[in-house]
Amino acid sequence: MSVAVDYYGTLGVRRDANADEIKKAYRRLARELHPDVNPDPVTQERFKEITQAYEVLSDPEKRQMYDLGGDPFAAGGGAAGFGAGFSPFSDIMDAFFGGGASRGPRSRARRGRNATIRVELDLSECAFGATRDLTVDTAVVCPTCSGEGSAPGSHPTTCEVCHGRGELNQVTRSFLGQVMTSRPCPGCGGFGTIIRMPCPECDGDGRVRTRRTVKVRIPAGVEDGTHIQLAGEGEVGPGGGPPGDLFLEIVQQPHPIFERQGDDLHCTLTIPMTAASLGATLQIQTLDGPATIDIRPGTQSGQTIPLFAQGSSHLHGPGRGDLIIHVTVETPVKLDPEQEELVRQLARLRGEESPPGRFSPGEQGFFSRLRDAFNGR
């Protein structure tokens, strides 16, 4: 962009014109030269010139730079001329003409809606992934008219009201002088064309409702509330527009044994006092099948036994969570006389047979262990 342009001359103002004079000069010229009033290319070029001049002279910083012989479009990133990024242009248009430059007819084709369906999975399917054939009620492109909306052998015709422009311009007088406004054409609804013979299958919508089956692969590691986006698997839009997306919302069914927290699984294992005391080898169920675990002698209620990498797969990245077994020691109830005698004998041998009040809080950690066990720790 050459700096040799005479912006003052373009707007027809003196070099010492104040902001108000510059604005008035620009408004007067803009009304004359606006493309909607005067669409010929020479006038449009001139309109661009006065708008550019106004952009510089209405901005004190740019005006000063221009006065000093600099390039006002070099600074501030506004050097793109009249491309898409030239916002003062459209700002001024909007301010003067209430709605900017001509937008042309709008397309009948619009993007289809997104759809969401819920998929119920059990814990194992969430942890390891699953494949499902899902039945979705959706809209597809009308096979009769291929989305155009016209009956076979016919096509949309150009609207005679707006001659295909989709909008009508109106010149009214206001305090600014003549003002150009545009509104959607009532003859064609703004589309610029009219479907005189709508397709009998879709009534001119360009799409038909149908039920189809989608085979989806659900990745390992999803959980309750996970959304999976299947791009382009939603409904097609009106007028043969592109399809929206299909979202799967995962619903994880509760498991009778395992409770999931993140990718870790938790379960409770109740063992008899004797096994806790003497130690034992037990078989338990995991998501991967039966597993053998060792209960160490002296295991306390509330202790946990972790089985590493036996939880759910991570959704993002490799590896798995853990399976955490929470041990509860069951104190025997309803001892028969022989069992009771054995327990009393054990208590005597361990010096634990005692009058009431022997175990005071804190002593041997008995009460704190009891509390931990109660709280499930």
Least separation in angstroms between residue 199's CB and Zn ion is 3
The angle at the Cα of 94, spanning 88 to 95, to the nearest 5 degrees, equals 85
Per CB under 5 A, 123 contacts Zn ion? no
Q: Which stretch binds Zn ion (CB under 5 A): 58-66, 125-133, 156-164, 312-320?
A: 156-164
Q: Which stretch binds Zn ion (CB under 5 A): 14-22, 57-65, 194-202, 219-227?
A: 194-202
- Whichever of 98 and 198 has its CB closer to Zn ion, that residue is 198
- Whichever of 149 and 311 has its CB closer to Zn ion, that residue is 149
Per CB under 5 A, 188 contacts Zn ion? yes
Distance in angstroms (rounded) separating the CA atoms of residues 259 and 255:
7
Q: Which stretch binds Zn ion (CB under 5 A): 187-195, 213-221, 324-332, 363-371?
A: 187-195
**Cα end-to-end span (Å), the chain:** 76
Binder of Zn ion out of 144, 154, 277, 328 (CB under 5 A): 144
Determine the 3-state secondary structure of 92 from DSSP: helix
| Residues 6+ away with beta carbon under 8 Å from 23 | 54, 58
Under 8 Å between Cβ of 151 and 235: no
Least separation in angstroms between residue 38's CB and Zn ion is 23
Question: Cβ-count burial of 120 within 10 angstroms (0-12 exposed, 13-18 middle, 19+ buried)?
Answer: exposed
Q: Which stretch binds Zn ion (CB under 5 A): 43-51, 145-153, 262-270, 311-319?
A: 145-153
Under 8 Å between Cβ of 198 and 151: yes
Where helices occur in 147-280 by DSSP H, the ranges are: 273-278
Least separation in angstroms between residue 104's CB and Zn ion is 12
Q: How many residues bind Zn ion (CB under 5 A)?
A: 12
Query: What Cα–Cα distance (Å) separates residue 272 from each residue in 253, 282, 290, 294, 298?
Result: 31, 12, 20, 14, 12
Per CB under 5 A, 187 contacts Zn ion? yes
Q: Which stretch binds Zn ion (CB under 5 A): 65-73, 95-103, 123-131, 138-146?
A: 138-146
Joined together, the tokens standing for residue 124 give: 């194992």
Least separation in angstroms between residue 239's CB and Zn ion is 10
Residue span 198-227 as binding mask against Zn ion, x where in contact by CB under 5 A, dash where not:
-x-xx-------------------------
Least separation in angstroms between residue 161's CB and Zn ion is 4
Distance in angstroms (rounded) separating the CA atoms of residues 376 and 27:
79
Cα 102 from chain centroid (whole Å): 33
Least separation in angstroms between residue 99's CB and Zn ion is 17
Binder of Zn ion out of 145, 222, 323, 329 (CB under 5 A): 145
Joined together, the tokens standing for residue 375 give: 């709280």
Per CB under 5 A, 142 contacts Zn ion? yes
Q: Which stretch binds Zn ion (CB under 5 A): 159-167, 236-244, 245-253, 286-294?
A: 159-167
In angstroms, how far apart are the furthest CA atoms of the chain?
Answer: 119
Q: Which stretch binds Zn ion (CB under 5 A): 2-10, 180-188, 248-256, 318-326?
A: 180-188
Residues 315-334 that bind Zn ion (CB under 5 A): none
Query: Within a 10 A sphere around the Cβ of 30, how many other Cβ atoms?
Result: 21
- Whichever of 142 and 275 has its CB closer to Zn ion, that residue is 142
Q: Amino acid letter at 179?
A: V
Query: Within a 10 A sphere around the Cβ of 225, how many other Cβ atoms?
Result: 9
Pairing between β-strand 323-330 and β-strand 304-307 as defined by DSSP bridges: antiparallel
- Whichever of 88 and 187 has its CB closer to Zn ion, that residue is 187
Per CB under 5 A, 159 contacts Zn ion? yes
**Interacting residue ranges for Zn ion, rule: CB under 5 A:** 142, 144-145, 159, 161-162, 185, 187-188, 199, 201-202
